[in-house]
Amino acid sequence: GCALVGGETALLPDFYQEGDFDLAGVAAGVVVRNRINDGRAIQTGDAVIGLASSGIHSNGYSLVRKVVFDAAKLKVTDPVPELGQTVGEALLTPTRLYVKPVRRLLDAHGGAIHGLANITGGGIPDNVGRILPPDKRVHISRSAWEVPPVFAWLQRCGNVADAEMFRVFNMGVGFVVICAPPAADAIVKHFTGEDIAAWKIGEVRAGEVGVEVAGL
């Protein structure tokens, strides 16, 4: 009978040291009932639009530390030639935020937007999967966008399997919009105008609830 209204229990092994603590901030808000977008409007045939991430964002750093510092034995000051950055610069790239561009999208195309998913821990499969209504399955095409080189570098550092990479990281897609097919081109154009690359990366089909990434 208790409502969970904020905060989190973070899984951060090897991060906290003796005497460290975690400070979390929480904001609560109100949504107008007839404007709630919780995925229930998602339909078979809907288009799945992916928005470009700026890099790793803020999830998966337990695995990052393991592959970069433990497996590859790198230091934060070491250069990464294929990225044109040091290890520290690559890992500390700021997380892109989508709130304002998505709010403007809803103002312009609200009726066509059937689902929204921020791609955090769990990658595309978990975060898109949890907003799907019964009997709806999302099929994702891996060839629809170019995975940023930072992820290929991490994968090589730790010899990480493709499926694990997609389970832990955003792989270049930081946010997903599920929409009515006729609106897909306009939505891609909207985000291009917001200086955010966007691609049609998949579609909704009938089937068991979940997300299928081609080739995984």
Whether pTM exceeds 0.85: yes
How confident is residue 25, by pLDDT bands cut at 50, 70 and 90? Answer: confident
Please indicate whether residue 148 or residue 13 has the higher confidence score (pLDDT). Answer: 148
With a cut of 80, say whether residue 2 has pLDDT above it: no
Chain CA centroid to CA 203, Å: 17
| Average pLDDT score, the chain | 94
Task: List all residues 6 or more positions away from 6 whose beta carbon is below 8 Å from its beta carbon.
Answer: 24, 26, 27, 28
Could you tell me the CA-to-CA distances from 101 to 2, 106, 180, 211 in Å, in that order? Answer: 33, 9, 19, 25
The per-residue pLDDT for 155 is 97
Task: Confirm if 175 and 51 have CB atoms less than 8 A apart.
Answer: yes
How confident is residue 35, by pLDDT bands cut at 50, 70 and 90? Answer: confident
With a cut of 80, say whether residue 8 has pLDDT above it: no
